[in-house]
Amino acid sequence: MAARSNCRACNRDALDVPREQMTVSRPDTRRVQLRFLDGSREEYELRATPSVRRYVLTARIGRDGLGVTLAYNAAGELAGLSDGHGLAVALDYTGGRVTAIRRLDAGGSTLDVLARYEYSREGDLVAHTDVLGHRRTYAYEQHLLTRYTDFNGFVTCLEWDWPARRAGAPAPADAKCVHEWRCNDRYPDERYAELFFEYHREHWYTKVTDADGHATIHRYDYHNQIVRVEQPDGSRDTYTWDDRGQLIAMQNGAGQTERFAYDEAGRIAAVTDALGNTTRTEYDAAGLPVQVTNAAGDVTHTAYDALGRPASVTDAAGATSYRWSDSGRLIALTDPKGGTREFAYDSAGRLVSARDCSGYETRYQYDVRGYLLARTDALGQVTSYRHDARGQLLQVTRPDGNGEQLAYDAEGNLTTYTDGAGQVTRYSYNGNHQPYSRTDAAGRMLAYNYDRQWRLTHLRNENGESMRFRYDALGRLVEETGFDDSVTQYGYDAAGRLAQSRQGDAWTAYTRDALGRLTQRDMRGPNG
């Protein structure tokens, strides 16, 4: 909680904390409430166990009254969460550590075990099994994560450092990760996305260097707010903050600046772009934006109901009105032309019907897990869906009986797609979840190769022809060699925007305004 010196108004029961953009109140001696600028709130309650007394979060509620409640067991451990509309999970513990998270049905019975967790004798998490049985593993040194293997078996490795480490001193709480890379267990020496980290607290900067030696420096102020990012090509992005920790200016490498102004409550009041155009926002007593005026003088007005939900939005096109249910669901929307769309929901807040401006209705059904099961259009035609326990779409059946089937790898990447004619397309991926190959039903394959920074370097088509790509220190494409061996080169301005391209003796130059919008394109061939 912030110190009293940061408070704008203080009394026995409330603290108004501008820097944190919240108000702290105490409804009674056992409860504390945090109310935020957006109208949402968090509620805490004093709980006592044999060893400790503390405030625990019991609810997170939005301005509309919808939210999540939290329950605790006798040991003071979080035991469950519920949204009050059918979505609920329970947590199981052994020795004070979460061992399983279970999804519950409306009756409180276990529907799925969403996750299982295993720990070492030292208390470190060593394995996580998901709802489909896929397993991730973790390894540590002095409780510092040194190795993480994802569901597909790809590995992330981390090295750590701290003062006196080489002298055998134990790892302190502020030990720093100094080296990170990805690899495959079958080829451990092939490192990808390798990064080295340097921390210079005494000089307020951090340095990140990739495997090619390209370094990016992040500089901070006393409050750990980023003030400058220095790119490998020498360009700089700068950030300016006021005394309340609010960002008031951003300047890119080309010297173009965007500025921000705030009201007394810390809300954005004006944004001025690099061309000097200003958009202003005004708020009502509840802190809701009621008027937005852009640089051209166009005004958008928004009116709200008692719960802070938009009741109408009026702009140059006219007024759009909204109606909401008692449970906070949008039930009607009327556009400026008077057309109305209506929506209905089940007790869990899921959309069950939508009626368009012409009166045509579409209906929706859901399975026991809450995933879409069927969609019935205005003609009564039904499209059905099937999902796995993770929510991944497995099958779509069209009204004519034709359908598609989908399968995924352990990380959720699409591996096979079967269309309505039974034609199968297969996909494979690298350790960064980028496509490695695509093979169609006829056996024709597209293949993708990447460098150690996961940048696409080669694309091979079905005929065995290749496109090649080359990048600069910032990872921007600077050269592309086509299937026909034609070469296109690219250049960029100080802000990182495309400034020119060249193919053979043909040049194209791009001129942009301070917002990066293209204002002119000049083309020049071999004859001028």
Question: 16 pLDDT exceeds 70?
Answer: no
Q: What is the mean pLDDT of residues 144-168?
A: 93
In a domain, 208, yes or no: no
Question: 1 pLDDT exceeds 80?
Answer: no
Total domains in the chain come to 2
Domain encompassing residue 14? 1-119
**pLDDT single digits (tens) 502-514:** 999 899 999 999 9
Of the residues 79, 99, 119, which one is the last residue of a structural domain?
A: 119
What pLDDT score was predicted for residue 168?
85
Asked if residue 359 lies in contact with residue 372, where contact means CB atoms within 8 angstroms, the answer is no
For 398-471, strand residue ranges (E) read: 403-408, 414-418, 424-429, 435-439, 445-450, 456-460, 466-471
Of the residues 97, 119, 141, which one is the last residue of a structural domain?
A: 119
Query: Cα-flanking dihedrals φ and ψ of residue 227, to 5°?
Result: -115, -20
What pLDDT score was predicted for residue 37?
76
In a domain, 190, yes or no: no
pLDDT-derived band of residue 5, with 50, 70 and 90 as boundaries?
A: very low
Percent of the residues in the chain that have a pLDDT greater than 70, as a whole number: 96
Q: CA 13, 17, 18: angle at the middle one, nearest 5?
A: 145
pLDDT-derived band of residue 38, with 50, 70 and 90 as boundaries?
A: confident
Of the residues 119, 140, 170, which one is the last residue of a structural domain?
A: 119
Reading the block at residue 511, the tokens are: 């001129």
In a domain, 268, yes or no: no
Measured between alpha carbons, how far is residue 96 from residues 53, 75, 91, 523 in Å?
17, 8, 11, 68
**pLDDT single digits (tens) 193-233:** 999 999 998 899 999 999 999 999 999 999 999 999 999 99
Query: Cα-flanking dihedrals φ and ψ of residue 203, to 5°?
Result: -110, 5
**pLDDT single digits (tens) 312-326:** 999 999 999 999 998
What pLDDT score was predicted for residue 53?
84
Within 8 A by CB and 6+ apart from 411, the residues are: 150, 151, 152, 429, 433
Other Cβ atoms less than 10 A from the Cβ of 379: the count is: 8
Asked if residue 350 lies in contact with residue 343, where contact means CB atoms within 8 angstroms, the answer is no
- Whole-prediction pTM: 0.86
Reading the block at residue 381, the tokens are: 């035609």
Question: 108 pLDDT exceeds 60?
Answer: yes
Q: What is the mean pLDDT of residues 387-399?
A: 97
Measured between alpha carbons, how far is residue 2 from residues 17, 220, 250, 267, 526 in Å?
7, 21, 27, 19, 67
Gap between the terminal Cα atoms of the chain: 67
**pLDDT single digits (tens) 408-435:** 999 999 999 999 999 999 999 999 999 9
In a domain, 464, yes or no: yes
In a domain, 238, yes or no: no
What pLDDT score was predicted for residue 68?
94
What pLDDT score was predicted for residue 188?
73
In 3D space, the residue among 216, 275, 230, 227 whose CA is nearest the CA of residue 250 turns out to be 227
**pLDDT single digits (tens) 117-138:** 999 999 999 999 999 999 999 9
Average pLDDT, the chain: 92
For 131-252, strand residue ranges (E) read: 135-141, 144-149, 154-161, 176-184, 187-200, 205-210, 215-220, 226-230, 236-241, 247-251
Q: CA 499, 501, 506: angle at the middle one, nearest 5?
A: 135
What pLDDT score was predicted for residue 17?
65
pLDDT-derived band of residue 14, with 50, 70 and 90 as boundaries?
A: low
DSSP letter at 170? P
What pLDDT score was predicted for residue 9?
40
In a domain, 108, yes or no: yes
In a domain, 520, yes or no: yes
DSSP letter at 165? T
In a domain, 4, yes or no: yes
Question: 520 pLDDT exceeds 70?
Answer: yes
Single-letter amino acid code for the residue at 274 = A
